[in-house]
Structure 1
Amino acid sequence: MTHLIMLLLALTFAWGIRQTATIPTGGWSDRWHRTLGWFLFSPLLLCNTALALAYMGPCLHMALWWEGWGSYAIAISFLAAAIVLGLSLTIEAQRSLHQVRRYPQLEMHGKTTRLIEISTPYVAQIGFWQPELVVSQGLLQSLDSAHLEVVLVHEQGHLHYRDTFWFFWLGWLRRLTAWLPQTEALWQELLILRELRADRWAAQHVDSLLLAEALLSVVSAPQIQPENFCASFSSAVVRNRLNERINALLEPESSSLGGQSWWLLLVLLPLIVIPFHS
């Protein structure tokens, strides 16, 4: 019965936490940590609970099958779905990266890029830990040298934070727990905060006004790559919240301390009980 209670408690807390989640306001740093916490808590709690139940195995002495094998089967099914989804996304990402590496290379402002022969202005980092920088012919035609340079510095910010790598895994959790409340709203918030973070990094190296002007020039560009492993300067979420990003560039806020990560202790509770299992 203990295993079934663990499963029900995890589902209840995961659903309840997401149901009460709110999109944070205030400074960038506080918004980033709070949004990331709201997004990660429920999936990590469910994953850790499933791992704990799978490790402990079914309770064979239970009178009713669903008290032992039932919770064990649910945990195994959840982990299997997570693995299959992760493999599927990895294969999809590898195919996309393989296609990108077929594009011709060129040097721009000291950076190696891949050139796509399309008329739409587009620039993005595509890949995993070491992504490929991709630009379109339309971007080269629509921006002068100064504006093109600041856009490339913005993309360097994504590389600095390894956004394509970390957002691949965040995207995996998003797909895995899409049935939880507010998953998509929190995901969209993380995407815009990712762009704001890259903007902040770029503004430390180039003129923020030039970056704002470049953003206005290419904001109509469609998102032509899957967002799980792509950090695009003009993604759909940027078009929807353009004013917010422009204002952040023109009126940068002062730095603030990062948020607390005490909630990580709570999501580890299912694993902590394993040694006490008999």
Structure 2
Amino acid sequence: MSHLGLLLLGLAFSWLWRAQVRLDRAGSWAQRWQWAWIHFLLPPLFLLTTALALAWMGPRGQMAGAGGWFSYGCALLVLAAAAGLALRWIGEYWCSCQRAHRQALAQVNLCGFSAYVLDLEIPFAAQVGVWNSQLVVSRGLLQQLDEEHLRAVLIHEEAHRHYRDTLWMLAVGWLRRLSAWLPNTELLWQELLTLRELRADRWAAQRVDPLVLGEALLQVVSYGRGQQPSNAWVGFALEMDPPPGGRLQERIEALLQPKGPEASGPSPSRESWGWLGLALLPLLAIPFHT
């Protein structure tokens, strides 16, 4: 296979894999989790390893065939775009974290949690940071919720810190931007965010009354309906951590189930690793290039 053929194969595989995605919420939570990760990660990773293999082999060689220089240039362009998007995404997130600390009114203790308070009317809470994230809440949230419901929201946010969701979603957010041109990228992104919120809800429900947590979600949505965040940092944070209104009914129903999805989340199965292993196939072409 020529270099051009390998490039076309990578593009065709990535596009067709995503094009056939059909969201199915009939399966178990664990099945939905595995399905969403595989379909989200595999196409961009396959495309990146294809570009890496072409860049490694260079524009010349017995395997190059027609389009050697063209394929080589395209591969370098893909890798440069991936690196540029990664640096920009990290830079934006770092600036947003610094902006949050500068604009915080104070660092306070809320129900046993250390949090930074922002001067915003919209009810808002999120984890900010990468590895050791910090809790950020808005003045509007403190005004609208009583202590019991506020504690439920804060424990939900502590679940995100427990699972290092800010680190994982920072990496996945980069792949989202890189594969924005592929079909169903936004659909899978929203599914991953919903499943992440369901996991955090279940973790919190083991520590507070699930009904209280559900009431807190409803109150935040009710108070925040129709309000748009005017702060640029909050807009960025909401992209990483959408407001509780997203698929609220599904989250409430999950909280009311006697046995919801396991709070720890499913570990990757052998089948999942096998599917993701397909992303490494383009690298197998390197030993055959001379």
TM superposition score normalised by structure 2: 0.88
Residue type matched to 2:192 in 1?
A: L
Tell me what 2:235 maps to. 225
RMSD: 2.1
What is the alpha-carbon distance in structure 2 between the residues aligned to residue 230 and residue 14 of structure 1?
Answer: 24
Tell me what 1:253 maps to. 260
Q: Give the superposition deviation at 1:137.
A: 1.1
Give a deviation string over 1:174-202, Cα, whole Å, max 9, x none: 11111101011111111111111110111
Q: How does 1:116-135 map to 2 (within 5 A)?
A: 116-135=118-137
What is the alpha-carbon distance in structure 2 between the residues aligned to residue 34 and residue 254 of structure 1?
Answer: 15
Alpha carbons 2:53, 2:282 under 8 Å: kept: yes
Residues matched between the structures, number? 273
Distance 1:63 1:147, change over 3 A: closer
Tell me what 2:51 maps to. 50
Tell me what 1:72 maps to. 72
Residue type matched to 1:150 in 2?
A: A
Q: Give yes or no for the alignment of 1:273 onto 2:282.
A: no
Tell me what 1:34 maps to. 35
Give a deviation string over 1:186-236, Cα, whole Å, max 9, x none: 1111111111111011111111111000000102535633258843xxx24
Q: Give the superposition deviation at 1:58.
A: 0.9
Q: How does 1:10-159 map to 2 (within 5 A)?
A: 10-25=10-25, 26-59=27-60, 67-102=67-102, 103=104, 104-159=106-161
Q: Give the superposition deviation at 1:254.
A: 5.3
Q: How does 1:192-211 map to 2 (within 5 A)?
A: 192-211=194-213
Distance 1:257 1:174, change over 3 A: closer
What is the alpha-carbon distance in structure 2 between the residues aligned to residue 161 and residue 63 of structure 1?
Answer: 45
What is the alpha-carbon distance in structure 2 between the residues aligned to residue 273 and residue 9 of structure 1?
Answer: 12
Distance 1:227 1:71, change over 3 A: farther
What is the alpha-carbon distance in structure 2 between the residues aligned to residue 242 and residue 156 of structure 1?
Answer: 19
Give a deviation string over 1:84-111, Cα, whole Å, max 9, x none: 1111111111110001122121111221
1:121 is paired with a residue whose SS is: coil
Alpha carbons 2:157, 2:200 under 8 Å: kept: yes
Give a deviation string over 1:108-153, Cα, whole Å, max 9, x none: 1221100011222111112212222111111111111111111111
What is the alpha-carbon distance in structure 2 between the residues aligned to residue 207 and residue 76 of structure 1?
Answer: 53
Alpha carbons 1:128, 1:165 under 8 Å: kept: yes
Distance 1:63 1:184, change over 3 A: closer
Alpha carbons 1:51, 1:75 under 8 Å: kept: yes
What is the alpha-carbon distance in structure 1 between the residues aligned to residue 202 and residue 254 of structure 2?
Answer: 8
Alpha carbons 1:129, 1:164 under 8 Å: kept: yes
What is the alpha-carbon distance in structure 1 between the residues aligned to residue 83 and residue 266 of structure 2?
Answer: 36
1:169 is paired with a residue whose SS is: helix
Between stretches 177-186 and 216-225, larger displacement belongs to 216-225
Residue type matched to 2:214 in 1?
A: A
| Match of residue 176, structure 1, among 175, 178, 196 | 178
Distance 1:273 1:175, change over 3 A: same
Alpha carbons 2:97, 2:129 under 8 Å: kept: yes
What is the alpha-carbon distance in structure 2 between the residues aligned to residue 257 and residue 123 of structure 1?
Answer: 26
TM superposition score normalised by structure 1: 0.91
Alpha carbons 1:35, 1:189 under 8 Å: kept: yes
What is the alpha-carbon distance in structure 1 between the residues aligned to residue 28 and residue 111 of structure 2?
Answer: 33
Residue type matched to 1:266 in 2?
A: L
What is the alpha-carbon distance in structure 2 between the residues aligned to residue 69 and residue 227 of structure 1?
Answer: 41
Residue type matched to 1:33 in 2?
A: Q
Alpha carbons 1:14, 1:42 under 8 Å: kept: yes
Distance 1:225 1:125, change over 3 A: farther
Q: Give yes or no for the alignment of 1:165 onto 2:202.
A: no
Q: Give the superposition deviation at 1:257.
A: 5.8
Alpha carbons 1:164, 1:228 under 8 Å: kept: no
Q: Give the superposition deviation at 1:60.
A: 5.6
Instruction: List alignment gaps of at least 5 residues for structure 2.
Output: none
Q: Give the superposition deviation at 1:165.
A: 1.0
What is the alpha-carbon distance in structure 1 between the residues aligned to residue 185 and residue 254 of structure 2?
Answer: 25
2:245 is paired with a residue whose SS is: helix
What is the alpha-carbon distance in structure 1 between the residues aligned to residue 39 and residue 122 of structure 2?
Answer: 35
What is the alpha-carbon distance in structure 1 between the residues aligned to residue 286 and residue 238 of structure 2?
Answer: 33
